[in-house]
A and B are shown apart, each in its own frame.
Chain A
Amino acid sequence: MRHLSTAFALLAFAAGCASAGARTTTAAVPQQAGAPAPAAGQDTAGIGPQYPSTYQRHPNPPVLIRNATIMTAAGQEIQGGSILFKDGRIVSVGTNVQAPSDAVVVDATGKWVTPGVIDTHSHIGVYAAPGTFAESDGNEATRPVTAEVWAEHSFWPQDPQIPLAIAGGVTTIQALPGSANLIGGRSAVLKLVPARSVQEMKFPGAHYGLKMACGENPKRVYGQRGGPSTRMGNMAGYREAFIAAQAYRRKWDKWNKDHQGDPPDRNLRNESLAEVLRGNIYVQNHCYRADEMMQMLDLAHEFGFKIRSFHHAVEAYKIADVLAREGTASSIWSDWWGFKEEAMDGIYENGALLQQAGARVVIHSDDASGIQRLNQEAAKAMYHGRRAGIPVTRDQAVRWFTANPAWVLGLDSLVGTLEPGKMADVVIWSADPLSVYARALQVYNDGWLVYDRNDPTHQPKMDFTLGQGEHP
C-alpha cells in the first residue's frame, strides 16, 4: 500500500485519520443589516453564499448504455438492462429503453453498471501527491479546535490522485480535514471532475460536514502542547467549544429577530459550530472504539445535534443496535485493523453486522489507494459477512459505496442510485464489480464521460503529471 521503505515506517499516523466535511450553501451566520432573518434549522442563516460553487455540468449528448447487468442500488439487479441519461439526468432504466436519435449508444454486453462511487472520507486534494510537506494541508494542527477552517481552502484540484480515484469509478467525495484536532474544520463535498478551482468542483447545494475526532490522535498531537492529553480532556474540549457556540447562536438568533443595534461580531469557529446546532452542517466523527462512540452520542444529545456518521468505527458492530436507533451511519473499512491500539478490534464482519442490525453502512477509504477500490472493499465485507452466516444482499453491498454515502452527505435525493431523475453518475465495469477482477471501463459524472479505460483522450491528467514519469 505504500512504498516499501515508508510502508515499514509507522503507517498509522500517516493515514488513519478522519475528518469532517463542509458544504457550500450555508453559514451559521451573520446577516447583513436589513437582510431577512433566517429561520433556525434552515440553511439560509448566513450572509449569502460564501465561496459559492461554480460547478457547471459539462455539455454532452444523451447516452444509452445497453445490454448490461445494471445494479441500481435501489433494489434491482437488471439483466440485459439499458440506461439512458440526458442533460446530466437519468431518464430511464430497464429492459426496454428507447434511445433518442442523437444518443451515443454504448454496447455493454457482458458488462456491469452501477451508480458512481461516493467516498465519505477522503483526504485527496488536502494531502495531495507527491506527498511532501508542501502539500500537507489537511491538519491545522496548531490548536485542538479549528472549526473555523474549511477543507476547500486547502484543496488542490491538480492533485494527481484525483484521476486515479476517477479511474476507480469515484464521482463524489467528501474531502475532510485530518484527525489531529478535536474539531478539525469543515469538509468539502465535491464532484470529482477535472477543474481549475475547487469552487468548480463543489457539489451544488451540498451541506458542509464538520470533522470531529475522538481518541488517540488529538491526545497524541496535543498531549505535550497544552492538551488535551487524555480522552476526558478530549470530551471537555468538545463541550467547551459547543457551549461557546450555543451562546453565539443565541446572540445571532436574537439579533436576526429584532435587528437591534450593531450585529454581533462574527466568529468563524462559532459560525461552523452554530450551524451544526442548527442542523445545517453534518457532524462527521472519526471514532474507533464503541465506548467512545457512546460518549460522542451523549455529547450530541447534550447539545441537541445529530452525528451523521461515525468514521472508521472499527468497533461499530459492538453497538450496532444503538447506531441503528440513533440513525447514525458508520463509514468503515472492510478490514483495516491493528495499526493502532484503538483499531485493535476491527473485524471483517463489521459491515454485515451493522447491516443486519438495521444500521447504515458505508465503505469509506481515508486512503488515496483504497479510494480506487471501494467496490472491492465492499465485496470483501459482504462475502465475509455471508460466510459468517450474516445475510447481505448484493444490492446492499453496492449501496455501501453508493446510496448510503450519498445519505451521509445529504445527497441521497440527487445521487447514489440509478433511478430516473437522479444525476447521471454512472460507472460501467468490465466484470461484476464485487469481483477482484472488475475494472471501471467508463465513468460518467453528471453525464460527462470523465474516464474511458480504452480511450486515452478520456483519461484526465493533472497538470503535475504532465511530462512526469512517462519515459518512452
Chain B
Amino acid sequence: MIAFLLAQTIAITGGTVYPVSGPKIDNATVLIRDGRIAAVGTNVAVPAGATRIDAAGKWVTPGFIDGAGQMGLREISAVQNTNEATLRGNEVAAAFNVLEGINPASTLIAVNRMEGITSTVAVPNGSLIWGQAVMIDLDGETIDAMRVKSPVAMVADLSEGAKEAGGGSRAGVAQRLRRVLNDAREYATRRADFRRAQIQPLSASAADLEALQPVLRGELPLMIVANRRSDIETALRIAREYKLKLILAGAAEGWMISGEIAAAGVPVLVEPMDNIPTFDALGIRYENAPLLARGGVKVALMETATENTRDLRQQAGNAVASGMTWEQALRAVTLTPAEVFGVADRYGSLDAGKIANVVVWSGDPFDFSTGVEHVYIRGREIPLRSRQTELLERYKTLPPKY
C-alpha cells in the first residue's frame, strides 16, 4: 500500500530495454508512474519531477517470475514448524489454498528479490491433489499486498510421488483422479442430494469437490506434476477427457513427446539443470527445456529450491547453454509464466499499463558477471538489502561489529 500512497514517477533512461513482448530497444526509457509502467520507448518524455535512473550501458527487463516454488510457505525446510505448504491427512486437498499460509516477513523474500526475482508461484505439496497455488509479488507487508492472483492453478500429482494415494500403482493414481473428477461433476448437479446424504458417498468432501468446479469448467488450470513420458501422456489424456486446462510441471521426459504436448497446447514448467535419473524419469536430460521449446511447447522455468529461487537466473542460463535461444529463455522467466498463470494482462513484459516489476541489470541477467542494479516491484524501488547483506556487513572485517 505504501507504494501507492507514495506514488511517484521514475524514469529509467538510456538502457537497453528488453520488453519481451517485442524486440529489444537500445537507448530506451522505461517510465514508471503510480506503480505501473507508463511508457516504454526511445521517444518517451520524462516528466519534470520524475526520479531519473541512468541506465546507460545497463539492461532493463521485466522482473523474473518463478514458475513454482514455496516462497513464503517455508522458512527453513528442515524445520517442520516453519513449513505451511502441506495439508496433512488429506490426499484430495482441492480446497486447500495456500495463500493464508504465506509469511510476508519471510527472510527468503528479501534474499531472492534483490537478485531480480519479483514474483513467484507458491505451490502446495501433498499427495494426489495438493491444493491451490497462488502467485505473489515479493514485496508487501501483508498477504493482501503481496497477492497477484489466487488461485492460479489446482495442483495434482501423477508422478511416482503420488503412488501411495493410488494404492501403490500409477494406474490406481489415474483412476482415483478420474473418480474424484467424476464425483466433482456429480456433486455439481446433486448438491442438495449430497447435503441430505441421499447419494452414495463421494470420494472427497463437499469443500474439495466444490473447489474442483472451476477446474472442470476449464477456468482454473490443473497443474499436473508428471515426469515419466507415460505419466505425461496420462495427464494429456485426462485433460482431454474432462476438457481441462492443463499445465505440466516437471515434465522431465517431455522432450520425447514435445510434438504431442505442443499439439495439445499445454504449457510446461521445467527445471533445466535437473538431469539426475530416477525411476520416475530415466530419460531426464539437460536438453529437455530447449528440445521442448524447439518442438513448439510453451516453456516456463522454475527453481524448486525455494531459498535459492534466485538461481532461476542460472537455470535460464543453463537452458541457453543446452540449446534454448536466449530470447526463449528470457520469455520463459517473464511473459510465459505470466501467460501460463493468467496474469499476462498485468505481468511479464514491459508494456504501458502493466504492473511496474522492473529490473535494471549491469549486463546479461543470466550470467554470473552481471549484478542487479535496481529492482522495482509495483513501482517501488526495493532496497538491495537482506539479512545476508547484513551478515556480510557485520563480518567483512574481523573481529565483527556486534
**Chain A contacts to B: CB under 8 angstroms:** 1-13, 129-132, 160-161, 164, 216, 317-321, 335-341, 344-349, 353, 357, 368-369, 372-373, 376, 379-380, 382-383, 387-388, 390, 434-439, 465, 468-471
Contact = CB atoms under 8 A, between A and B. Distances in A.
B76 A5 contact: no
B13 to A, nearest CB: 23
B276 A4 contact: no
B297 interface: no
A376 B272 CA distance: 15
Contact of A3 (B250, B305, B392, B396): B250
Size class of B's contact patch? Answer: 35 or more
A164 B321 contact: no
Contact of A469 (B76, B253, B273, B396): B253
A42 B276 CA distance: 41
Contact of A387 (B157, B159, B253, B371): B371
Contacts of B271: 1, 4, 7
A353 B396 contact: yes
Given A7-B305, A369-B273, 13 more contacts: A8-B123, A10-B77, A129-B278, A336-B308, A338-B108, A347-B388, A347-B391, A372-B275, A380-B368, A382-B368, A387-B371, A388-B396, A471-B283
Interface in B156-205: 157, 159-162
Interface in B303-330: 303-305, 307-308, 310-311, 314, 317-318, 320-321
Mostly, the A contact residues are loop
A94 B275 CA distance: 37
A348 B123 contact: no
A112 B218 CA distance: 52
A215 to B, nearest CB: 11
B389 to A, nearest CB: 8
A435 B320 CA distance: 12
B78 A2 contact: no
B6 to A, nearest CB: 28
Interface string B255-290: 010000000000001010111111111111000000
Contacts of A338: 75-77, 107-108, 111, 307
B282 A383 contact: no
Nearest to A6: B161
Contacts of A380: 314, 368
Contact of B395 (A12, A216, A318, A376): A318
A435 B280 CA distance: 32
A7 B391 contact: no
Contacts of B45: none
Contact of B250 (A5, A353, A468): A5
19 contacts: A3-B227, A3-B278, A5-B225, A7-B305, A8-B70, A9-B161, A129-B276, A319-B398, A338-B76, A338-B307, A339-B307, A341-B79, A369-B273, A369-B276, A383-B370, A388-B392, A390-B396, A434-B369, A468-B282
B78 A318 contact: no
A338 B391 CA distance: 14
A353 B370 CA distance: 20
Nearest to A357: B398
A130 B275 contact: no
B160 to A, nearest CB: 8
Contacts of B304: 1-2, 4, 7-8
Given A7-B304, A339-B77, A434-B368, A369 B274 contact: yes
A344 B76 CA distance: 8
Contact of A471 (B159, B229, B284, B303): B229
Contact of A436 (B321, B371, B391): B321
Nearest to A132: B279
B252 interface: yes
Contacts of B321: 436-439
Nearest to B311: A335
Given A349-B396, A435-B369, A469-B277, A5 B162 contact: yes
Given A8-B85, A160-B277, A376-B368, A13 B78 contact: yes
Nearest to B390: A347
Interface in B234-253: 249-250, 252-253
B400 interface: yes
Contact of B317 (A1, A383, A437): A437
A469 B159 contact: no
A2 B225 CA distance: 13
Mostly, the B contact residues are loop
Nearest to B400: A318
B157 A12 contact: no
A379 B276 contact: no
B125 interface: yes
A80 B249 CA distance: 45
Contact of A8 (B125, B314, B366, B395): B125
Nearest to B75: A338
A470 B281 CA distance: 11
B113 to A, nearest CB: 15
Given A436-B318, A469-B283, A130 B278 contact: yes
A373 B256 CA distance: 25
A2 B400 CA distance: 37
Contacts of B370: 383
Nearest to B302: A4
Nearest to A334: B368
B68 interface: yes
A435 B318 CA distance: 10
Contacts of A8: 70, 85, 123, 125, 304
A359 to B, nearest CB: 11
Contacts of B125: 5, 8-9
* 3 closest residue pairs by CB, A with B: A5-B161, A436-B317, A469-B283
Given A4-B304, A436-B314, A437-B320, A11 B77 contact: yes
A7 B320 CA distance: 23
B397 to A, nearest CB: 9
Contact of B274 (A3, A130, A353): A3
B141 interface: no
B54 interface: no
Contact of A340 (B76, B85, B229, B273): B76
Contacts of A469: 253, 277, 281-284
B78 A12 contact: yes
Nearest to A124: B276
Contacts of B369: 379, 383, 434-435
Contacts of B159: 3-5
B345 interface: no
B277 A129 contact: yes
A130 B250 contact: no
B367 interface: yes
A185 to B, nearest CB: 24
Interface in B346-375: 366-371
Contacts of A9: 125, 161
B77 A12 contact: yes
Contacts of A436: 314, 317-318, 320-321, 366-368
A1 B225 contact: no
A372 B253 CA distance: 20
B78 A339 contact: yes
Nearest to B252: A3
Nearest to B369: A383
A339 B311 CA distance: 15
